Chains A and B, each alone.
Chain A
Amino acid sequence: MTFLEKQSDPTSFMHWRGDMQADYLYTNGVAGNRFFAHLKKKDTFLASRCPQCKKVFMPPRMFCEDCFCDIPDKAWIEVPARGTVRVWTVATINAHGKKLKEPKVIALIDIDKTDSAMLGIIKTKNPDKDLFGQKVKAVLRPKKKREGTLKDILYFE
């Protein structure tokens, strides 16, 4: 068939339907625990700097992926919760392939004073605006309500 749209709903044929009970508890790890414990109390991010190549990782890590060496406690630093938009996209489709109620702007943000980037939702009234190079800062949940997960970072603006 030479149509762009094809029948792709196999449920219209005889079948057995199953799903996976696959629930997990993901440990944050030593570095992750420190990062989130810090984020619960402060409005900054915690990063770690490789003693050999000086690369700054945010989220922080216990070892450098380039040098394959330990990153000691004294090499941890506090960095501002802000950065510069490297690339951004407007997502209009949900995980099931259907339309999202509202388009969402997601960016990869180079975090200041680090060699790392972070994915962030950008809150903007104009999703078509060119965000390249824009300075953005993280908006965190009110301190009392923070739970020590990535969701404490509500969005960037």
Chain B
Amino acid sequence: MNKVCVIGVGHTDFNSMTPDMEWKEFMYEACQKAYVDAGIDPRKDVDSFITCAEDYYEGFGIFDEFVPDQIGATLRPCGTVCGDGIHGLGNAFMQIKTGLMDIVAIEAHSKVSDLLTFGDVVLFAFDPVFERPISGPVERPNFAGSPSYTKKAPKPLIGSSKETERIHPYFLAGLEMQHYLRKTGTTEEQCAKVVVKNKKNAFRNPYADYEARIRVEDVMESEYMFKPVKSLDIAPTVDGAVCIVLASHKKAKELGVDPIYLSGFGYCSETPWLSTRGMDAGYAKVAAKMAYKMAGIKKPRKEIDIVEVDDKFSYKELQHLESLGLARSGEAAELLEEGELDVKGSLPTNTSGGLLGVGNCLEATGLQKSLEIVTQLRGHAGKRQVPDCEVGLAQSWRGIPTGTGAVAIFTREGR
């Protein structure tokens, strides 16, 4: 079967906001850089284009219609995956494996600073009948003028009807973190050390936006928002776009590029019902199993040299490492304290700074993590370079309130 290679990567700078650039210009920048990196002309050489986006994050209906021009895809096969960047990579991987496409470009981005009501949009992803009303007043007056509805917002049954009394959806992270700490014996201090490490790593990543020199005490003294989640345990949102170009091995050779291989991927979703869903990142476990099998990985802890895992909340880094089979339950915090997760440790984790250091880039998370792994495997990571890395793992989670995750395995040698 065709081996699948990464032949180009491109990205914008990541910033807490990007008021100087429109989202299209922003996507154009990432794609143009990736095409130059691959040495290709998208108007001639790319067979298929994939973006990863979610309409409500973007602020558009049918966002895919707005995609082709800024990625070089007008009148070409182009589609949007409503999911994380690694879901897009997986789709491209399959297109190349079939032999139908030789070169596929995948783009994902976050222009979250355009979204003024992020918390409300996330609440919109909760079950409207059984879960969303928990957050507080969610009803609005009916503007559509349907006669069966009043012009005024219905009065709440309890508490205030003020929008300001609607609870932020991140309360779910508070529930899950409490479960994780109790189950594994991990402490809040240990989670705080994840924040310290990742923000420190971000200093050596030129595109990261949330690098900082902080102490464990700074995290511990930051305000409880959703106890035990404190304000510094949360990855702040960021704008950024990433494009990755994949090609068949044959095509990569023709182009004369030195490729990194995409040797496996996996993805899965848990039930959306909070009433029956697990709290142990089962989505990461299943996705990893699929990816390991595809890449022929039998002992992940021994065979994988570098990992980028989703750290939208500090505890998530530790929880995900355990779900991925890279640490036993409760062991991730020990590895962290022993320095094994540092750039110089035996399991370098989130050397890019992770989402705590780079910023939470929503559906671009998986591509940002893939970008770091590819950069490291290419040996282009500068001062944060992990020596002798051959096999790397990128993992993403679609964030609150989802139970969806994806895993990609990149290797120096083809498998």
Contacts and interface: CB of A to CB of B under 8 A. Distances in A.
Interface string B200-233: 0001000001111110000000011111110010
Contact of A10 (B113, B167, B228): B113
B130 A117 contact: no
Given A95-B167, A101-B160, A10 B274 contact: no
Contacts of B232: 4
Given A8-B113, A23-B142, A89-B226, A94 B166 contact: yes
B224 A92 contact: yes
A108 B170 contact: no
B17 A89 contact: no
Nearest to A65: B271
B98 interface: no
Interface in A34-90: 55, 57-59, 65, 86-90
A96 B119 contact: yes
Given A28-B129, A106-B171, A95 B120 contact: yes
Nearest to A28: B129
A72 B20 CA distance: 58
Contacts of B19: 10, 12-15
A21 B143 CA distance: 8
A12 B17 CA distance: 11
A20 B214 CA distance: 39
A2 B276 contact: no
Contacts of B114: 10
Contacts of B227: 89-90
11 contacts: A3-B212, A13-B19, A23-B144, A29-B129, A65-B271, A89-B228, A89-B229, A96-B117, A96-B120, A119-B274, A154-B158
Contacts of A7: 16-17
Interface of A: 2-4, 6-15, 18, 20-21, 23-24, 26, 28-29, 32, 55, 57-59, 65, 86-98, 100-101, 104, 106-108, 115-121, 132, 141, 145, 149-152, 154-155
Given A89-B174, A101-B165, A151 B156 contact: yes
B169 interface: yes
B271 A95 contact: no
B179 interface: yes
Nearest to B170: A93
Given A89-B227, A95-B135, A23 B140 contact: yes
A58 B275 CA distance: 7
Given A8-B16, A10-B114, A23-B140, A119 B131 contact: yes
**Among all A-B residue pairs, the 8 with the closest Cβ atoms:** A89-B174, A95-B119, A13-B19, A116-B275, A6-B16, A26-B128, A95-B166, A90-B227
A41 to B, nearest CB: 17
Given A93-B170, A101-B165, A151 B157 contact: yes
B163 A150 contact: no
A121 B113 CA distance: 31
